[in-house]
Amino acid sequence: SVICCVVCTCLFLFIFKNTICPKTYLKGFFIINLFKLLYGNARKCHFPSYILLLVDLTRVLLKKSGCRTPRIELEEMGPSFDFVMRRTHLASDDLYKLSLRRPKALQAKKKKNISHDTFGTQYGRIHMQKQDLGKLQTRKVKALKKRPAKKMAAANVDNSPKRHKNEQHDEQKS
């Protein structure tokens, strides 16, 4: 009977697409579906040896409390169902796994390199090769152009007849 409880729990979680939330915003909850699994003796039902599944639709009431978080009360608001599991003959494990499998068309495809922040803004990651900035086309300026070493050495040697003004001024004084 424990295996039947596990299968029944998995079935309802699969139907209602259970998602695990590490943090919740309490004011965002209005209605909660409660699923309770009980053995037949818990409610004195007509079938004492069977498993009883209770489904309740409840409304969330947030009451004031002495601390920061409000006190939560659940109020029954909608239909309540009592299901009795009388048939406990389960299918084989292979058939059970086959029944839970979803077609690939219904499965959500993961988009690679795309992420979302808390506000829903979509970010994408682009993979590019490293750029060589030496080959980057820019405006060509002679001053920035690399010259060969021979020309640099020749430019440093002063063979020109032109002299600086300071040198001419020094010669006139002496």
Query: How confident is the model over 130-149, as pLDDT tens digits?
Result: 888 777 777 777 776 777 77
CA distance 3 to 89: 11
DSSP string for 42-81? GTT-S-TTSEEEEEEEEEEEEE--SSSSPEEEEEEEEEEE
Q: Is the pLDDT of residue 21 over 60?
A: yes
Q: Is the pLDDT of residue 156 over 70?
A: no
Higher pLDDT, 9 or 119: 119
What is the average per-residue pLDDT within 27-50? 70
Q: Is the pLDDT of residue 62 over 80?
A: yes
What is the average per-residue pLDDT within 54-73? 88
- pLDDT tens per residue, range 75-131: 998 888 887 777 677 778 888 788 777 777 767 777 788 888 888 898 988 888 888
Q: 93-100 and 2-15 helices cross at what angle (nearest 10)?
A: 10
Q: Which of these, 90, 94, 99, lies nearest to 8 by C-alpha position?
A: 90
Q: Which of these, 89, 79, 1, lies nearest to 40 by C-alpha position?
A: 1
What is the average per-residue pLDDT within 32-41? 74
**Whether 5 contacts 13, CB under 8 Å:** no
